[in-house]
Structures are given as structure tokens and as C-alpha cells.
Chain A
């Protein structure tokens, strides 16, 4: 699992059947300093997260297991909020709801 920040919303009505109603968000993975790590990606969101939230997510085939329907073509899913994160004694960040 990785740390990330939600940076945007994606709307897609024409989608794989089992994915009806699952929110999609742009997500920027973060490193141990809270800085952007690699390219942004789109992930399913199974919590009521929105832009600005610090979250953790899983990628790969396991990502589908977190969705309401588990046999779906999903390779990244946001699993939960991160209230606060520290690494090597340093503060990385916290969820700022409503911020961008």
C-alpha cells in the first residue's frame, strides 16, 4: 500500500457493469517526505474521500478486492483516510478536507 493525495475527480458513466456507482479520483502517490512520487493515476474510492484528502491506496489485482463487486477490472483503490503520517520522526502530512 502507498500514501497518496486525492487531486481531482473523474466522471465516467459508460463503464464496466460491476463498477456502477464506484467513485473515481485522480490520485498523486507520495514518498516518505510527502512529496509527489511518480505520475498521478486514477483510482476507485471506497471511502467518502475527495480532493485534498491524504489517503492510503493499494494497487495491483488486490485493488479489486476492496470494491463492492470484487471481480472487476480495477488496479488501484483508495482504502482509507490518513489522519496524520510520520516517517523517520518527521511529520509528512494530514488530511485537509475540502482543500485542493
Chain B
């Protein structure tokens, strides 16, 4: 999984019918030091993530392993909202600070 920030959402009315009702979010990938990368993914949200949240997303066929995305054309799914993380004992990100 990788961590990214929810920076936007996608609205698409003409799409595969299996994507109907799915919430599509634009996620900008961050590295372990919380530095944004010039890399973006569109992911289906399975946990109720919101704008500016740092989230964890899974890619590839693993993304279809939720009750919400099973058998749907999806290769990225948000599976957790990150509260905090540390590296080498030092806190890098704290959501509630």
C-alpha cells in the first residue's frame, strides 16, 4: 500500500455500469516523509475518506477484494484513513495536531 492525500474527486456520468454509485477520489501520492510526489491515482473509496485526508490505498487485483469493489473494473481502492505515523521513532504525521 501507499499513502496519499485526497486532493479531489472525479465526477463521471458516462462510465462502465459497474462503476455506478462508486465514489472516485483523486489521491496525490506522498512519500514516507510526508513529501508530496508528482504522482496521482484515482481510487474508489471504501472507508468514507474526505478531502485533505491522508489515506492508504491498495493497487492491482487486491483493490477488488472488498465487498464494494468485487468484480468491478477497479485497480485502486482506499482502504484506510491514516491517523499518524512515525519513522525511526520520530513522529512524521499526526492528523489531530
Residues of A within 8 A of B (CB): 7-16, 19, 24, 26, 39-43, 51, 60-61, 63-64, 71-76, 100
Contacts and interface: CB of A to CB of B under 8 A. Distances in A.
A75 B84 contact: no
B19 interface: no
Contacts, number: 102
A8 B86 contact: yes
| Binding site secondary structure of chain B | mixed
B74 to A, nearest CB: 10
Given A40-B32, A71-B66, 20 more contacts: A7-B32, A7-B88, A8-B88, A11-B85, A14-B48, A14-B49, A15-B79, A16-B46, A16-B66, A16-B80, A41-B2, A42-B3, A42-B56, A60-B62, A71-B65, A73-B66, A73-B77, A75-B58, A75-B60, A100-B88
A61 B58 CA distance: 10
Contacts of A8: 32, 85-88, 92
B47 A16 contact: yes
B59 interface: yes
A20 to B, nearest CB: 11
9 contacts: A8-B88, A10-B82, A10-B84, A12-B83, A16-B46, A16-B47, A42-B3, A61-B61, A73-B58
A62 to B, nearest CB: 9
B58 A51 contact: no
B32 A15 contact: no
B88 to A, nearest CB: 4
